[in-house]
Chain A
Amino acid sequence: MSDFGLLGSSGAFKANLLELRKRRQDIIAANIANADTPGYKARRLSFEEELSKTLPRGDELPMRRSMAGHMPTPFELEDGEIQEVETAIPKGDMNSVDLEQEMSRQTANQLLYNYAVQSLSGQIKKLKMVIDGQ
């Protein structure tokens, strides 16, 4: 994930984000597939907090490369954490999957995935424009 060449660290960041969102989709798929499995606990993949730590904060200046020879600083993301959660409304079979929650999480995740794809595509498009000189 470190060598993204022309796309640089922001390209690496977006690619890593896509990977994490895809993993979240896997977990949601597993939760919905197991919605009727006795004793199954719903799982959550959390990475937003770790992700925000890799971004510069408002009161801090972002790191910059002052010389071209310096090493670029790619965003090294944490892989995220999988946690098992309980439901607010317990079911009789010790299963904690809330179908409505999972479906809405899936929709949100899908939208944000599409957003990341478009953002990465936009970056590549600009690069192409520069290369073509148009």
Chain B
Amino acid sequence: MIDTKSDFLTSFKVTASGLAAQRMRLNIIAENLANAQTTRTPEGGPYKRRDPVFMSRPFQDFLTREQAAGATGVAVDRINVDQRPPRLQYDPTHPDANADGYVAMPNIDTVTEMVNMMSASRSYEANVSVLNASKAMALKALEIGR
């Protein structure tokens, strides 16, 4: 048995959290792609791939201040730094090349990033369409008795 009292803001808030999380993911993918050739970082060494870790988060209802059953949002729990070894590329003329002439390049696979980018953008779109549906339902409710 669950309490059915919840306002329309619940589904808006849940969807907003989904949009924010997917945008964050997209930002991190952009960062990865921008740094695909970065061999120098403030912490030293080549850039390391980053990946957000999502976590579901329960919401409180706006009016009742009670937890809305089942309607959990999503949040970025932490940003994981990929610890896989850097890709070694032979380029003796590069200033960061080691004694053997190999340069440590970031552990980024452009194809993986592109696929992730498409996935993030599709998920974002899905959340947008949920937002529109929730809005349409809320507006429809205002038509009762008209």
Contacts and interface: CB of A to CB of B under 8 A. Distances in A.
The answer to whether A and B assemble together is yes
Interface of A: 16, 18-23, 25-30, 32-38, 40, 43, 45, 78-82, 99, 102-103, 106-107, 110, 113-114, 117, 120-121, 124-125
19 contacts: A23-B4, A25-B11, A29-B11, A29-B130, A30-B72, A30-B73, A33-B15, A33-B17, A34-B54, A34-B74, A36-B120, A37-B54, A37-B55, A80-B4, A81-B2, A82-B69, A103-B129, A117-B141, A124-B145
B88 interface: no
B71 A26 contact: yes
Interface string B1-27: 111111010110011011001100100
B2 A80 contact: yes
A29 B134 contact: yes
A120 B144 contact: yes
Contact of A32 (B25, B56, B120, B127): B127
A27 B73 CA distance: 10
Contacts of A19: 4-5
B44 interface: no
A22 B8 contact: yes
A38 B54 CA distance: 7
Interface of A is mostly: helix
A106 B130 contact: yes
A75 to B, nearest CB: 14
A29 B16 CA distance: 10
A44 to B, nearest CB: 9
Interface string B108-146: 000000000001100100110110011011001101111
Contacts of B81: none
Nearest to B136: A110
B53 interface: yes
A28 B146 CA distance: 28
A22 B53 CA distance: 30
A32 B130 contact: yes
Contacts of A33: 14-15, 17-18, 21, 72-74, 127, 130
Nearest to B19: A33
